[in-house]
């Protein structure tokens, strides 16, 4: 069995969660969304995640605003944070995979999803629209809009990755792509 984790990250929090999920899955391949179109993603499980901006998936505009705000404050921005495609465009162009397994995750503020929104909802909907069977959806919390991750979230992400691995056919193991 193979698994691929595709993520979008502006501040590095979502990347850290994606890496922890991959570790829990058994060292699955981790791919930033802007590199995903150039790669053939043939996986038994596709895990997709991104940050929550303005109650949902990022847009080109929301990513650019976040990058500009961080540059003004002198903070850290992930390499490629403003590159295209973003998660929204990538999901729109994703090949239809009837019945293929997928999971969705997001990072969002540590408040009620009624207040913050949850990008994983939009990710899961778009995956279902492309024919994927979404087996799980999860939010991971950040203390502030640019982080850090709330205490224990990396451990929770690893645990979620382990639980995702149990949803796959018996006798399969996660293999990293070459």
CATH number reported for the structural domain that contains residue 77 in this entry: 3.40.50.360
**Whole-number pLDDT of residue 78:** 79
- Can you tell me the distance from the alpha carbon of 45 to that of 54, in angstroms, rounded to the nearest whole number? 28
**Domain of residue 153, residue span:** 3-166
pTM (2 d.p.): 0.88
**Whole-number pLDDT of residue 73:** 66
Least confident of 14-18, 31-35, 174-178: 174-178
Q: How confident is the model at residue 79 (pLDDT cuts 50, 70, 90)?
A: confident
Residue 176 has pLDDT above 60, yes or no: no
For residue 175, being part of any structural domain is answered with no
Q: Give the three-class secondary structure for 174.
A: coil
- Region 113-130: mean pLDDT is 94
Number of structural domains (the chain) is 1
Sort 126 into a burial class: Cβ within 10 Å, 0-12 / 13-18 / 19+: buried
């Amino acid at each position: 069995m193979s698994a691929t984790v595709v993520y979008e990250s502006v501040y590095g929090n979502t990347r850290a969660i994606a890496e922890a999920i991959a570790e829990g899955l058994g060292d699955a391949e981790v791919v930033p969304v802007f590199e995903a179109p150039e790669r053939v993603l043939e996986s038994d499980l596709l895990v997709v995640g991104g940050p929550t901006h303005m109650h949902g998936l990022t847009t080109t505009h929301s990513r650019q605003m976040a990058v500009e705000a961080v540059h003004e404050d002198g903070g850290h921005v992930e390499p490629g944070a403003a590159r295209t495609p973003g998660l929204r465009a990538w999901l729109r162009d994703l090949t239809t995979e009837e019945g293929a397994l997928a999971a969705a995750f997001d990072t969002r503020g540590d408040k009620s999803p009624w207040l913050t929104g949850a990008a994983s909802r939009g990710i899961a909907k778009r995956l279902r629209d492309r024919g994927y069977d979404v087996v799980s959806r999860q939010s991971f919390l950040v203390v502030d809009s640019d982080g850090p991750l709330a205490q224990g979230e990396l451990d929770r992400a690893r645990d979620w990755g382990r639980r995702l691995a149990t949803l796959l056919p018996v006798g399969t193991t996660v293999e990293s792509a070459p």
